[in-house]
Every structure is written in C-alpha cells, then in structure tokens.
Amino acid sequence: MKISGLRYFLGLCLALLVCLPGVASAKSQVINQVAAIVNNDVITQAELDRHVNLLKLRVKSAGEGKELPSDSVLRTQVLNQLINRSLQLQLAEENHIKVSSEQINQALTRVAQQNHISTRELYKRMEKNGFTVASFRKEIGQEILIQMVQGSFVASHISISQTEVNDVLKRIQSEKVEYNVGDILVALPATPSPAEVAAAREKAQALLKQLQAGASFKKIAMGHSNAQDALKGGDMGWRTLANMPSIFAERVVTMNPGEVAGPLRAANGFHLIKLLGMRNTQLPKSLKAREDDVKNMLFQQQFQDALATWLQQLRAEAYIKIM
C-alpha cells in the first residue's frame, strides 16, 4: 500500500514553481544560529527560516495568505515538523537505509511532469529561488528516505482485511453525500495521565471558543493542531461517512456547512471538526475501483494514527532541546 499525505518538502517546494523568481532565497543573511538540538543533530535558524518561508509561499500561492497564523506560532509548528524530520533521518542512518541517485531522478521527473516542464527547467526555477542542484537533490533524497523509514517502521505493520473492505463497501453503497471536513487535533500521549488529559481538554475548549468567536479554522489548525495535516489547514478532503472516523461521522450528520463541533475525545487526543462543505457522492464506477479506494482509505486512516503514535515515541526517547 502506498504511503500518501503530506510530503513536507516536496509540497512546499512546488509552490516555488508558481512564484516570482528569487522570492524565497535559501541563502539566508541571518547568522546561522542553532534553533534546536535533536540528539546529535542540529537544526539551524537558517534552515528553520527557509522552511517557514517555503510554507508561506505555498499558502500564499493558494490564495490563502490571510489564513497564516503569527510568525511565532508558525515557526513553532514548522520547527516541530523539522524535529520529526531529523529523528526519521537519523533512524535511516542508524539502519543503513539509503536512497539511490536513480530514485532521486525518478522523483524529480515526476515533479517536472506534474508541472509540465523538463527536469532541466525544474532545476533552473529552483536555482532562481536559492537552491543549488546539489542542495535541491539532497532535500528530495531526504524526503524519499523519510518515506522509506515510515514504510519500514510503520506501514509494514498495517494490514487491511477483505472483511474490513467489504464492511465499508456495504455502508457506502447507500450514501448519496460526501463531506469535506476540517480537523484540529490536540494530541495526547499513548498512556496519558489525568493531568495531561485535563490539560489537553482545556486547550481544545480554549481553541473552540476562538473558533466560535469567528477565528479562522485554517489559521488555528496551522498554528495549534498536532495532526499530520496541520500545515494544510486541517483539511481532510472529501469523504463519505463510511470513509471517516466514526466519532466524526456521528457528529457530521447533525451539522450544517460552516459549523464547528467538539471537543471529541479519541485515542490520540481531542478533536475539533468543521464541516467545510457537502456534495453529491462521486463513487468510482467499477467494483474493483471502489475496493481499491476503500482499501487505500482504511490504510491511510490506520497509517496516520500509527505514524502519530510512532513519532511521539521517537520524540520521547530522544534528546531534544529547543533553543
């Protein structure tokens, strides 16, 4: 089963393809101070600045610049992503997981084809935005390594049975509506203490009050959600009721577009959800296509939950110091 979801750097660098040349130079003029120490690795302020700027470009290129949280909140979220990234790259090195030059070439070819340009033109555009060919290839290679690590340590332990697929197929046959849902997660550790549960619930309730007072859901998600899709504004995409967690489905059917519900307690924390929209169901025509979609959906749900738990464990076992 293929891992999908946020490919952190790839998603951000694609924004550069539609931006003006030279907007996001990677050649920072700021002194290269330390932002965080992660075991024996160091995340520099220049690296953090670069990824924050890339994220801003991606959001602005989508016409959603007003949804960006404050710089301090955004930097905290991006730094947490970079810490997770560092931990996974360290794990790749410890386990001798390597990416080949051919794998990088194939990834670059896919990116270029998706944007209807040649690989040479892709390099030129990235160079205008401050990347050398070597630094760009290194970033792509690291993203592939992270996907390989997640495949070895998380995805390989997930199994979807035909019975699970059939159960979901039976439920979606009669569904006529799809829902676009946004999700904000205030995460809990695997075995939270009563104090941790109380603190998470209090934070979720405080965020809910902000949303009820008119705060932007996307901005709150980008600034405060612990979900893997936080930097996408919490958008889960279009799903039928059968294709979303049951605690979401039970509330979504009672909501109107624009409404917010929660906090909803789940194993991984407290969720705030927003019904972003509704439309008529668009199911694939063939049974095989529907089965593949359901199997992929079930895999992604289990993978995201397992990934979040795994990353929490990695962080708990690591030495992390934010400067």
* Contact predicate 35/45, CB 8 Å: yes
* Contact predicate 184/271, CB 8 Å: yes
Which residue spans of the chain are classified as CATH 1.10.4030.10?
8-153
H/E segment holding residue 30: none
Give the pLDDT confidence of 178-199 residue by residue, as tens digits: 899 999 999 888 788 899 999 9
Predicted confidence at residue 92, as pLDDT, reads 95
Which residue, among 288, 295, 256, 286, has the nearest Cα to 273 in the 3D structure?
256
Which residue, among 289, 43, 303, 6, has the nearest Cα to 152 in the 3D structure?
303
Q: Report angle CA 298, 273, 307 to the nearest 5 degrees.
A: 40
Which residue spans of the chain are classified as CATH 3.10.50.40?
162-314
Predicted confidence at residue 244, as pLDDT, reads 83
CATH 3.10.50.40: does it fit domain 162-314? Answer: yes
User: Quick check: helix, strand or coil at residue 63?
Assistant: coil
Mean pLDDT of the chain: 83
Architecture of domain 8-153: Orthogonal Bundle (1.10)
User: Quick check: helix, strand or coil at residue 185?
Assistant: strand
Give the pLDDT confidence of 124-138 residue by residue, as tens digits: 888 877 778 888 888
